[in-house]
Amino acid sequence: MNELLALPREWLAATGEIGRFMGTVVGDVWGGRVLHFFGETLRQAGILIVSSTLVVWALMFILGLVCGTEGAYFLEANGAPAYAGVFAAWCDLREIIPYAFGYMMAAKVGTGIVAELGAMRISDEIDALEVMGIDSMTFLCATRLLAAWIVLPFVYMAGMGGAFLASYIAVVQQVGFVSSGGYLLIFWEFQNPPDFLYSLIKAMVMATAIVLVGCYYGYNASGGPVGVGTATAKSMVLNLVLVHLIGMLGTQIFWGGNPNAPIGG
């Protein structure tokens, strides 16, 4: 029993540490200290675009396909195949695609940051930075956070477009219970700009949490090459839980008592 409870207890202790770390990094960005390293920020943004964007879009696209498939069959079963767009719109925009974004961000970007910073930490490169008089936390963590904030909204919007396309392909081209025009009419009817904004906020909060958790575990890695691997694995656990909790809170806050649908008064 003690063994089973070891994990939650360890988490509680880590939460405080991580909170303080996150506060420092966000303060660095907010206070503008990160602008001393704007070149490095742009470089990180470039790395993010080149190396991570395609994989993130791939998972968003695949889950868009699944949303479309389930929606088409479910609404067919209800005897309203023309309304597959309702399911697809809500599944894509409000719930599943933000999660897909969070999952892939955690997998690709989060663990990537841990592996990179962890390797720097154990080969004493971070200490070397400090010796050279560079604030390592600003240089390594705050630049990555700012880069994520610059790039990711656009990545997310484009990925959402890909997911919409995927749902369209699944519902109209593949399953084919509804015509193209009929599907699109309902699909666009059941979403509006506030929905999109809420979805974007949800995804960006997830992305911020993921980058910060990745920085924390990488920056504080220890114990040689094995330690880097373990830290990478640990960061993934926390990231997954955070993604789900943020997703739940976002839904509760934005759509909890507000269906935001064009039905009734």
Partner 1 sequence: MVRNVAERAFLPARSLLEEIGDMMILTGRTITAALRPPYPYGGEFVSQFLFALRLCWFPLLLSTVALNYAAPGLQAANFLTLFGALDRLGGIFVLAAIREIGPNVTAIVLAGVAGTAITADLGARKIREELDALQVLGVDPVKNLVVPRFLALMLVTGLFDIYAVLFGLFGGLLAEKVEGQPLGPFWNTLFANASTTDLWGSVLKCTIFGAIIAIVCCYKGMTASGGAEGVGRAVNQAVVVAFLAIGAFNYTFTQMLLATHPNLLVIK
H or E segment to which residue 154 belongs: helix 143-168
Task: Return the number of the residue (149 or 254) whose C-beta is nearest partner 1.
Answer: 254
List helix spans (H) across 31-122.
38-77, 84-89, 97-104, 111-122
H or E segment to which residue 214 belongs: helix 193-219
Which of positions 95-154 make contact with partner 1 (CB under 8 A)? 95-96, 99-100, 103-104, 106-108, 111-112, 114-116, 118-119, 122-123
**Distance of closest approach, residue 151 Cβ to partner 1, in angstroms:** 18
- Asked if residue 70 binds partner 1 (CB under 8 A), the reply is yes
**Distance of closest approach, residue 38 Cβ to partner 1, in angstroms:** 26
Q: 64-73 b/e with 16+ CB inside 10 Å = b?
A: bbebbbbbbb
Judge whether 115 and 228 are in contact, CB under 8 Å.
yes
Q: Which region among 20-28, 32-40, 155-163, 242-250 touches partner 1 (by CB under 8 A)?
A: 242-250
Q: Which region among 12-20, 77-85, 135-143, 204-212 touches partner 1 (by CB under 8 A)?
A: 77-85
* Amino acid type, 245: L
- The C-alpha atoms of residue 215 and residue 22 are separated, in whole angstroms, by 9
Task: Return the number of the residue (14 or 240) whose C-beta is nearest partner 1.
Answer: 240
Q: Which residue carries 């695609």 as its tokens?
A: 97
Q: Which of 15, 24, 78, 179 binds partner 1 (CB under 8 A)?
A: 78
- Asked if residue 55 binds partner 1 (CB under 8 A), the reply is yes
Which positions ≥6 away from 41 have C-beta within 8 Å? 34, 143, 146, 147, 150
Terminus-to-terminus CA distance in the chain, angstroms? 53
Q: Which of 74, 129, 158, 189 binds partner 1 (CB under 8 A)?
A: 74
SS3 content of the chain, % helix, strand, coil (to 5): 90, 0, 10
- Tallying the residues shown for the chain, one arrives at 265
- Asked if residue 13 binds partner 1 (CB under 8 A), the reply is no
Q: Which of 26, 76, 157, 169 binds partner 1 (CB under 8 A)?
A: 76
Q: Which region among 17-25, 136-144, 181-189, 236-244 touches partner 1 (by CB under 8 A)?
A: 236-244
Interface positions with partner 1 (CB under 8 A) = 3-4, 7-8, 55, 58-59, 62-63, 65-66, 69-70, 73-74, 76-79, 86, 90, 94-96, 99-100, 103-104, 106-108, 111-112, 114-116, 118-119, 122-123, 174, 224-226, 228-233, 236-237, 239-241, 244-245, 247-248, 250-252, 255-256, 258-259, 261, 263-264
